[in-house]
Amino acid sequence: MSRFRTKYPPRPLRFLHCPTGGKEARSRHTGKANPLTPSISRIHDADLELAAAVLKRDRKATARLIELHADAVHRYVWRRLTPKVDLVDDIVQDVFVAAWRGLPGYSGEASLQTWLVSIARNKVEDYYRRTLAAPLESLEQDEDAPLLASSVNLDANLEQSRQEERAAKILSGIPYEYATALRWRYWEGRTAREMAAATGRTEKAVERLLARARAKFKSRWEETA
């Protein structure tokens, strides 16, 4: 685990995870013999060398840091913020600035890419928190809407990718606060309690918000069936 401080408890990423759990880096750090494969070890050695060069304010190393890892960070942020893609560039830049500031704390226990994406995750969750901590005035009209639409009868034969495409389209079409709540809950795996703590709302209020968001999602799902 990197020493980069975050507001949220650490969670395993659903992709780009360190294939070895960073064990090889830890052993390198403690000076003990590395029991893992040399090829994996070399990957982390390269990351540590790159981080050290950036800390020396080597402009070429800084360029390489961006060149190697900007795609992964950008993809992650883009996916999490769609359809508000106009915010993606600023957040990606914030991620690299935060990473640069936190680089002295990078210990090599995870790959640089994993470490950068974990920073991106925190930035995205900060954005989710700000979105849902703000007054949800645009959702007031939904206050009286039934929390549950009728049961979803999905066509079992529908191709999975079609369903995913449809779900992504619905997420882009429902109020952004609802989509943010659903992404935060189901993509980032945060509980209502964690979301409540981050936004300053009560757990019950977050559960209500999630219930309305789910109902909206379901009703759109049925409409587009």
- 205's CB contacts (< 8 A; 6+ apart) are 196
Task: Specify the DSSP class assigned to residue 110.
Answer: S
CB of 154 to other proteins, least distance (A): 5
Helical (H) or strand (E) element with 95: helix 88-102
* Residues 101-120 close enough to bind other proteins by CB under 8 A: 101
The answer to whether 91 and 29 have CB atoms below 8 angstroms apart is: no
Q: Which of 187, 150, 140 is nearest to 13 (CA)?
A: 187
- Round to whole Å and give the CA distance between 119 and 112: 11
- 194's CB contacts (< 8 A; 6+ apart) are 8, 9
CB of 107 to other proteins, least distance (A): 21
- Round to whole Å and give the CA distance between 42 and 33: 14
**Identity of residue 123:** K
Size of the site for other proteins (CB under 8 A): 52
- 181's CB contacts (< 8 A; 6+ apart) are 132, 195, 206, 209, 210, 213
CB-nearer residue toward other proteins: 32 or 57: 57
* Residues 185-214 close enough to bind other proteins by CB under 8 A: 186-187, 207-208, 210-211, 214
The answer to whether 148 and 215 have CB atoms below 8 angstroms apart is: yes
- Contact status: 223 vs other proteins (CB under 8 A): no
CB-nearer residue toward other proteins: 40 or 149: 149
CB-nearer residue toward other proteins: 129 or 214: 214
**Identity of residue 47:** D
* Residues 121-180 close enough to bind other proteins by CB under 8 A: 147-148, 151-152, 154, 160, 163-168, 171-172
* Residues 9-68 close enough to bind other proteins by CB under 8 A: 53, 56-63, 66-67
Among 139, 182, 196, 198, binds other proteins (CB under 8 A): 182
Among 3, 79, 130, 193, binds other proteins (CB under 8 A): 79
CB-nearer residue toward other proteins: 7 or 79: 79
Instruction: Write out the residues near other proteins by the rule CB under 8 A.
Output: 53, 56-63, 66-67, 70-71, 73-76, 78-79, 82, 89, 92-93, 96-97, 100-101, 147-148, 151-152, 154, 160, 163-168, 171-172, 182, 186-187, 207-208, 210-211, 214, 217-218, 221
